[in-house]
Amino acid sequence: MSDKTVELMNPHLETARSDYLYHLDINVANTRDTSELQNRFGDVRVICMGGTGSRMRQLALYLRDILVVSESGDPVDLCERGNRYAMYKVGPVLCVSHGVGSSSFSVVLHELIKLLKYARCQDPVLLRIGTCGGLGVPPGTVVASKNAFNGLLRNEHEIAILGQRVVRPAQFSEDVIRDLLAFGVDANDGFQTISANTMGTDCFYEGQGRTDGAICEYSEKDKMEFLQKCHDLGIRNIEMEASMFASVTQKVGVKAGDVCVTLIDRLKGDQITITIDQKHEFEQRPFFVVGRYIKRLLQQ
């Protein structure tokens, strides 16, 4: 097997003797001999990430079944001592929570990518699984993100580095999207899975044109004009992590995909009207799609 481990563009990591993945509470005592981490994580092929620890635990239980990983009892949170993120391991899959929004996600993403390097994981794929607002698609639709737009409707992610504004492209891996649709979809699903553009915003309320926040200084008409403009760009869902996630994984050169289920059609309102049972059922849908994709990936 050819070496498909992750290369990092950080010369400082080459000279550092040790490293500490602070928010995961994982210590790399000796960066030149990472055999312990390789033993623990070297078999990881996929890292699935989602907002809450509880959902990542549910995903871990689900994957345990479909990947026929013979473990019993409650999944163990490997990062519990870090108090920030939860991490569960199911054979070759890690399930990790990332909190809400790009800032929280970027912290754990840097640390997970470093973990992939230290553990010498082969040809990894990073997948985000979540919920989102839909745009012109029915609630319960699963969207595999293609191009990630920011709140300014640009297909990019912006960050301040040493006081300077830096802009990076934000596209997800074409082969991951293709394979998610080819292998993740079943004709009997009872729901639609599509590939489309996604908007990632830093604010859930004003940033997404909601009228039910603590502050709202635009009209319903302004909001609808904005949402229509998004729709015209091929955006079919809105969430809060896609543009950062796409830009970081693209910069590192790691394969990534973002698979979210819509809970609402924002062209029809701001507050969710589905029942709690429907919500639970919808939240499972990305599990099905991602589960089939992973199963197929592991067979290759």
**The one segment of 41-49, 64-72, 137-145, 201-209 that binds other proteins by CB under 8 A:** 201-209
Count CA atoms within 13 Å of residue 37 on its CB side.
22
34 binds other proteins (CB under 8 A): no
Say how far apart CA 133 and CA 128 lie, in whole Å: 15
Residue 208 labelled as part of a binding site: yes
217 binds other proteins (CB under 8 A): yes
The encoded tokens of residue 56 equal: 């990542």
Residue 58 labelled as part of a binding site: no
Say how far apart CA 47 and CA 132 lie, in whole Å: 20
Closer CB to other proteins, 138 or 253, in the complex: 253
196 C-beta neighbours (distance < 10 Å), count: 19
The encoded tokens of residue 257 equal: 């995909």
For the bound state, the minimum distance from the C-beta of residue 44 to other proteins, rounded and expressed in Å, comes to 16
Using CA atoms, how far residue 199 sits from 22, 35, 117, 179, 266, in Å, is 30, 40, 29, 22, 13
255 binds other proteins (CB under 8 A): no
Residue 45 labelled as part of a binding site: no
Residue 64 labelled as part of a binding site: no
Residue 128 labelled as part of a binding site: yes
Closer CB to other proteins, 91 or 209, in the complex: 209
Taking alpha carbons only, the member of 148, 267, 135 closest to residue 197 is: 148
Among 40, 45, 231, 251, the residue binding other proteins under the rule CB under 8 A is 251
For the bound state, the minimum distance from the C-beta of residue 9 to other proteins, rounded and expressed in Å, comes to 4
Taking alpha carbons only, the member of 137, 148, 243 closest to residue 193 is: 137
Say how far apart CA 33 and CA 216 lie, in whole Å: 54
Closer CB to other proteins, 164 or 300, in the complex: 164
Among 2, 70, 72, 164, the residue binding other proteins under the rule CB under 8 A is 164
Using CA atoms, how far residue 75 sits from 47, 53, 98, 153, in Å, is 16, 11, 18, 40
Taking alpha carbons only, the member of 77, 75, 119, 43 closest to residue 298 is: 43
Among 209, 257, 286, 291, the residue binding other proteins under the rule CB under 8 A is 209
**The one segment of 41-49, 87-95, 150-158, 177-185 that binds other proteins by CB under 8 A:** 150-158
| Count of residues of this chain found to bind other proteins when the rule CB under 8 A is applied | 72
120 binds other proteins (CB under 8 A): no
Binding mask 51-90 toward other proteins (x if CB under 8 A, else -) reads: xxxxx---------------------------xx------
Among 35, 39, 74, 153, the residue binding other proteins under the rule CB under 8 A is 153
211 binds other proteins (CB under 8 A): yes
104 binds other proteins (CB under 8 A): yes
Q: What is the DSSP string of 165-212?
A: EEEEE-B--HHHHHHHHHHS--TT-SS-EEEEEEEE-S-SSGGGT-SS
The encoded tokens of residue 6 equal: 């992750």
**The one segment of 60-68, 87-95, 248-256, 289-297 that binds other proteins by CB under 8 A:** 248-256
Provide the annotated binding site for phosphate: 84, 128-131
Q: Annotated binding site for substrate, which residues?
A: 208, 210
